[in-house]
């Protein structure tokens, strides 16, 4: 099933020394789904399989749209790929093929390693305005061992250029934001402090209409089972510590 989403981004065109407001530019997104299952080592329906669900820009077919689509593809390929060649995928069909091929190659070389692998990746658009387009990617991977790995990743773009924002590009006042995050932290979450007892940078920041979430991956056993540590803040209290326009009500 495919779903179509529209994100309208009003862009400002500069012509000489005069500013003219262009017609709103619409990114048309289609939710695309990709699935593949291996027939090797299936037991009572439990097989190695991979599922990907991600919004893809289908209009306009501009360089900016292509840049965003390609980077999302690269991120998801990195999440699910166990291909030692580290080759770049050209499309999501190649990503799911790579995951299945890696399992079948591994189990052919090591027949005793016959536990099925799993990969589930789901993406959505959580925030958009003229200055920011945010995708949230939630994923789970299992490739043998005692536990799988569950986490989330935010991908931020400048919708005018297609360039990626790093976390440090978005934060204006880290000391101030630290205080807000610390206020909402569970006292038991000691794994996200450094050796000097200072809160470390979050691995991802998620923007929503009414909230901002800081995410930390903790690599102890509970994190592999329960997922990352997430700290939710209201947009009103956290937005002043960011450089980006987050459409606060005046």
Answer yes or no: do 146 and 177 share one domain. no
- Mean of the per-residue pLDDT values for the chain? 85
Answer yes or no: do 236 and 126 share one domain. no
Q: Which tens digit of pLDDT belongs to each residue from 163-198?
A: 999 988 999 999 999 999 988 887 666 667 777 777
Q: Is residue 122 part of a domain?
A: yes
Answer yes or no: do 240 and 191 share one domain. yes
Q: Would you say residue 10 has pLDDT above 80? A: no
Supply the pLDDT for residue 194. Answer: 74
Answer yes or no: do 159 and 55 share one domain. yes
Answer yes or no: do 206 and 139 share one domain. no
Answer yes or no: do 126 and 85 share one domain. yes
Q: Given pLDDT bands bounded at 50, 70 and 90, which one contains residue 15?
A: very low
Choosing from 165, 183, 204, the residue where a domain stops is 165
Q: Which residues contact 80 (CB under 8 A, 6 or more apart)?
A: 50, 52, 95, 96, 98, 99, 119, 121, 139, 141
Supply the pLDDT for residue 88. Answer: 81
Read off the CATH number of the domain in which 78 is found.
3.30.565.40
**Pick the residue with more confidence: 221 or 72?**
72
- For 72: left if phi > 0, alpha if psi spans -120 to 50, otherwise beta; the answer is alpha
Supply the pLDDT for residue 139. Answer: 95
* Structural domain of 243: 167-250
Answer yes or no: do 152 and 202 share one domain. no
Q: Is residue 15 part of a domain?
A: no
Q: What is the mean pLDDT of residues 28-51?
A: 95
Q: Would you say residue 150 has pLDDT above 80? A: yes
Supply the pLDDT for residue 7. Answer: 52
Supply the pLDDT for residue 195. Answer: 76
Answer yes or no: do 121 and 204 share one domain. no
**Pick the residue with more confidence: 35 or 148?**
35
CB count in 10 Å sphere of residue 158: 17
Answer yes or no: do 123 and 213 share one domain. no
Q: What is the mean pLDDT of residues 129-151?
A: 91
Most confident by average pLDDT, 79-83, 120-124, 241-245: 120-124
Answer yes or no: do 176 and 229 share one domain. yes
Choosing from 112, 136, 165, the residue where a domain stops is 165
Q: Is residue 22 part of a domain?
A: no
Q: Is residue 24 part of a domain?
A: no
Tokens of 93: 């069909």
Q: Would you say residue 9 has pLDDT above 60? A: no
Q: Is residue 26 part of a domain?
A: no
Q: Which tens digit of pLDDT belongs to each residue from 55-114?
A: 999 988 899 999 999 999 999 999 999 887 667 889 999 999 999 999 999 999 999 989
Q: Given pLDDT bands bounded at 50, 70 and 90, which one contains residue 38?
A: very high
- For 58: left if phi > 0, alpha if psi spans -120 to 50, otherwise beta; the answer is alpha
Supply the pLDDT for residue 218. Answer: 61
Q: Is residue 140 part of a domain?
A: yes
Choosing from 146, 165, 184, the residue where a domain stops is 165
Supply the pLDDT for residue 190. Answer: 63
Answer yes or no: do 115 and 48 share one domain. yes
Answer yes or no: do 223 and 145 share one domain. no
* Cα-based angle 123, 114, 116 (whole degrees, multiple of 5): 20
Supply the pLDDT for residue 249. Answer: 56
Q: pTM for the complete prediction?
A: 0.83
Q: CA–CA separation, 19 vs 158, rounded Å?
A: 20
Q: Is residue 2 part of a domain?
A: no
Q: Given pLDDT bands bounded at 50, 70 and 90, which one contains residue 219?
A: low
Number of domains in the chain: 2
Q: Is residue 179 part of a domain?
A: yes
């Amino acid at each position: 099933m495919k779903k179509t989403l529209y994100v309208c981004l009003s862009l400002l065109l500069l012509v000489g020394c005069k500013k003219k407001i262009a017609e709103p530019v619409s990114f048309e997104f289609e939710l695309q789904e990709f699935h593949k299952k291996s027939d090797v080592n299936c037991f009572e329906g439990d097989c190695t399989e991979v599922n990907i669900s991600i919004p893809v820009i289908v209009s306009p077919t501009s360089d900016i749209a292509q840049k965003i689509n390609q980077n999302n593809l690269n991120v998801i390929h990195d999440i699910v790929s166990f291909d030692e060649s580290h080759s770049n995928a050209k499309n999501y069909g190649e990503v799911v093929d790579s995951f299945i091929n890696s399992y079948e190659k591994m189990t052919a070389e090591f027949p005793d390693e016959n536990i099925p692998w799993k990969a589930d990746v789901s993406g959505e658009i959580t925030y958009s305005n003229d200055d920011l387009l945010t995708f949230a990617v939630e994923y789970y991977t299992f490739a043998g061992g005692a536990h799988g790995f569950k986490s989330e990743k935010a991908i931020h773009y400048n919708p005018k250029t297609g360039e990626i924002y790093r976390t440090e590009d978005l934060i204006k006042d880290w000391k101030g934001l630290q205080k807000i995050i610390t206020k909402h932290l569970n006292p038991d979450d000691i794994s996200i402090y450094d050796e000097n007892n200072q809160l470390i940078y979050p691995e991802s920041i998620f923007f929503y209409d009414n909230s901002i979430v800081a995410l930390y991956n903790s690599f102890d056993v509970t994190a592999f089972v329960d997922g990352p540590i997430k700290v939710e803040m209201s947009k009103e209290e956290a937005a002043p510590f960011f450089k980006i326009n987050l459409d606060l009500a005046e």
